[in-house]
Structure 1
Amino acid sequence: MRLSAKARENIAGWLFVAPVIVILGLFMLLPILMAMWVSLTDWNGQGSPFKSGVPFVGFDNYSKLFTEDGLTRQDFMTSVRNNIYYVGIVVPVQTVLALGLALVVNSRMLKGKGFFRAAFFFPSVTSSVAISVVFLFIFASSGAVNNLLAFFGVQGPQWFADARGILHLVLGGLGVVDVDNPPAFLTSGGPFGLSWWDWLAGPSVAMSTIMLLVIWTTSGTFMLMFLAALQDIPVTLEEASMLDGAGRWKRLRFVTLPMLKPTLFLVLTMGIISTWQVFDQVYVMSQGAPGKTTLTPAYLSYTQAFDSFEYGTGTAISFVLFAIIVLFTIVQRWLLRERNA
């Protein structure tokens, strides 16, 4: 039977994409399905998780994270709390900083643009493990940061050993609450096994140091994205707004930022995904300490699986983390959607 031209084109197209489909299926889709099965079992890492003797527990691994009182839920909710503050601070700061750097290096008046672009981008291409080790020395008790603070008469904290929450410190410093004796209504109850006082602690001093590191190392990459988008904006559009009497800030608000909306969505999406998946900095710098204030869901998933040999729980955490990332991305897409006048 002779095939039509359209059918031959379809067959040719499938033949071209077949190698990619096979590779993605074998090395991405299949492992995801296997991991999903592991999350429904009580596999301890011995032998194959697909043997008949592996206990099938259904959604018990997921219920332990949300409904069952115990250390697993407490650790997971602590990690979620830590990561919420981490995302809420790192993503806006790194986005604003990256946009600001892009505007600076895109300025016509700036000389030595190539040097500044390379200088701002350099931390992004440096090994995160190497930079994390350097930060450990810089923020040590006798490190450069504390020595600099001592020069101005300020006693620096034990950065990676200080579990106090920033919001607690601020409220205590303002005299709003007694940090050592918080109000009973904040400590008597709260959602998911944590008190309201715990939820409102804010990022710890140790987590704030990790945030500073991540903001410094990621802003350069996002700066290049904004810079490419800025250079795509037609010069005539900017000149027309200047002729209409628009000042610098009005041009930024009504011309530049609307043109950067697709890039802004990309930067925010990548920022949300990377901040919810933070692992290597925590692994190198703190491993969840002090007092689990730098614990994140990604690191908790690792410790549950490879330290506690609870592979089902560790895998369940990873799928919950995936659902959180998808949810945040959908919400962000809805907020940045095009609105009809």
Structure 2
Amino acid sequence: MTGRRPGAAKENLAGWLFVAPVVVILGLFMLAPILMAMWVSLTDWNGQGSPFRAGVPFVGLDNYTRLFAEEGLARQDFMTSVRNNVYYVAIVVPAQTGLALGLALIVNGRLLRGRTFFRAAFYFPSVTSSVAISVVFLFVFANSGAVNGLLRLFGVEGPQWFADSRGILHLVLGALGVVDPDAPPAALTGGGPFGLSWWEWLSGPSVAMTTIIVLVVWTTSGTFMLMFLAALQNIPVTLEEAALLDGAGRRQVFTHVTLPLLKPTMFLVLTLGMIATWQVFDQVYVMSQGNPAKTTLTPAFLSYQTAFNGFEYGSGTAISFVLFAIIVVLTLVQRWVLRERRA
């Protein structure tokens, strides 16, 4: 029979004493606010007084059911924001990941001169205030801005970027002559899930949302470029040289040697990108306020708008917890998809 090692109890006590300050801080400033917010999501608190006083109406799961099961403006706005965010995530995450990887491969090249300059130049937008860059983009994409001025040089009349609520997929289908955006098929307009028609679900991001997407991809790729660059520099050069000596081409080396070794970093970049894109707020707040026609509305901004503008703190908090659940579920799915598969 094995007994406890002498002094183990003292070591355990010492360990708990060392981590106690962190546990207390996390409990006070993270766990406690989360539990308090969860309680608020179950009430109809209007922001007046304390949400824990006796007079605050307790509504249970009504704030959540209004988002999914009850017809009305609350469900329509929430599903519109989810639709907008789904397109936003589906475009931003692959675009910023691919751009970041491409930039990392470029600045990691041994023959590139001025690598330090290019690394700093590519990373600079990531450390600049997102609010400041958003304001600059408002001027760049204005009706008389630089983008429309450049398009006029090629004989193209640019749209009113932040006032155009038309969906990109609708515009593409209309340009190809598949459907008329002003007269969509009746089968797609008759009904759809969660209060939105199929035509609305299949609209694609609006022109205004596309502008925000361009901004976000440009500003976030630099950070992820550094992550890929660090991973590339940790790959032993001998592995690539051995593959080249065995007759593999550059593309084969990248596909069968470099890319598999970048898988942990790829998972990190995709996870961080997905979390950040589902939480997009500041660009929407500065550039569009959810307009035009709610085509740039996102769940994070809707939560803020519902709570602080509509004084429905219970509903706003419920939206934030639903958003949290979406992020957790998608992260677990992504981890399962990118898991290591044993032969």
TM tier relative to shorter chain: over 0.9
Partner residue, 1:86: 88
Q: Percent identity?
A: 79
Q: Match for residue 274 of structure 1?
A: 276
Q: Does 1:178 align with 2:172?
A: no
Q: Which residue of 2 aligns with 1:294?
A: 296
Paired amino acid for 2:87: Y
Measure, in 2, the Cα distance between the counterparts of 1:5 and 1:246.
Answer: 58
- Which residue does the alignment assign to 1:330? 332
Match of 1:33 in 2: 35
Aligned counterpart, 1:24 = 26
Q: Secondary structure at the match of 2:184?
A: coil
User: 1:309-324, aligned counterparts within 5 Å?
Assistant: 309-324=311-326
CA–CA separation in structure 2 for the residues paired with 1:254 and 1:9 = 47
1:296 corresponds to which letter in structure 2? T
1:159 aligned residue (158, 161, 176): 161
Q: Which residue in 2 is equivalent to 1:143? A: 145
1:286-339 CA distance string (max 9 Å, x none): 000000000000000000000000000000000000000001100100010001
After superposition, the C-alpha distances for 1:192-250 in whole angstroms (9 at most, x for unaligned) are 00000000000000000000000000000000000000000011111110111111110
Cα offset, 1:17, TM superposition: 0.6
Q: Which amino acid aligns with 1:105?
A: V
User: Secondary structure at the residue paired with 1:171?
Assistant: helix
* Mapping 1:207-246, distance limit 5 Å: 207-246=209-248
Superposed, 1:99-118 pairs within 5 Å as 99-118=101-120
Once the two structures are TM-superposed, the CA of residue 4 in structure 1 deviates from its matched residue by: 3.8
Q: TM-score, normalised by structure 1?
A: 0.99
Q: Deviations over 1:80-117 (max 9, x none)?
A: 00000000000000000000000000001101000000
Shift of 1:340: 1.1
Spell out structure 1 runs of 4+ moving beyond 6 A. Answer: none
Residues in 2 aligned to 1:4 and 1:321: alpha-carbon distance in whole angstroms: 49
The CA deviation string for residues 23-78 of structure 1, in whole angstroms up to 9 with x for no partner, is 00000000000000000000000000001110000000000000000000000000
C-alpha distance in 2 between matches for 1:215 and 1:48:
41
Correspondence 1:58-77 to 2 at 5 A: 58-77=60-79
* Count of matched residue pairs: 339
Partner of 1:128: 130
The Cα shift of 1:128 comes to: 0.1
What letter is aligned with 2:30?
M
Task: Output the CA distance in 2 between the equivalents of 1:113 and 1:180.
Answer: 50
Please, which of 250, 255, 258 is the counterpart of residue 248 of structure 1?
250
Q: Following the alignment from structure 1 to structure 2, what is the Cα–Cα distance between the partners of residues 328 and 288?
A: 24
- Partner SS state of residue 191, structure 2: coil
The separation in 2 between residues aligned to 1:133 and 1:68, in whole angstroms, is 38
| Correspondence for 2:58 among 56, 59, 78 | 56
Which residue of the partner structure matches residue 13 of structure 1? 15
Amino acid at match of 2:80: T
1:265 matches 2:281: no
Measure the CA separation in 2 of the matches of 1:274 and 1:327.
15
Q: Which amino acid aligns with 1:198?
A: E
- Which amino acid letter does the alignment assign opposite residue 23 of structure 1? I
TM-score normalized by structure 2?
0.98
Residues 256-302 of structure 1 show CA distances to partners (whole Å, capped at 9, x for unaligned) of 00000000000000000000000000000000000000000000000
Q: Which SS does the other structure have where 1:246 is aligned?
A: coil
1:199 aligns with: 201
Alpha-carbon distance between aligned partners in 2 of 1:152 and 1:188, rounded to the nearest angstrom: 40
Which string of whole-angstrom CA distances, capped at 9 and with x for unpartnered residues, describes residues 106-151 of structure 1?
A: 0011010000000000000000000000000000000000000001
The AA in structure 1 aligned to 2:52 is F
**Equivalent residue number for residue 190 of structure 2:** 188
CA-CA distance at 1:5 after TM superposition: 1.0
SS in structure 2 at match of 1:334? helix
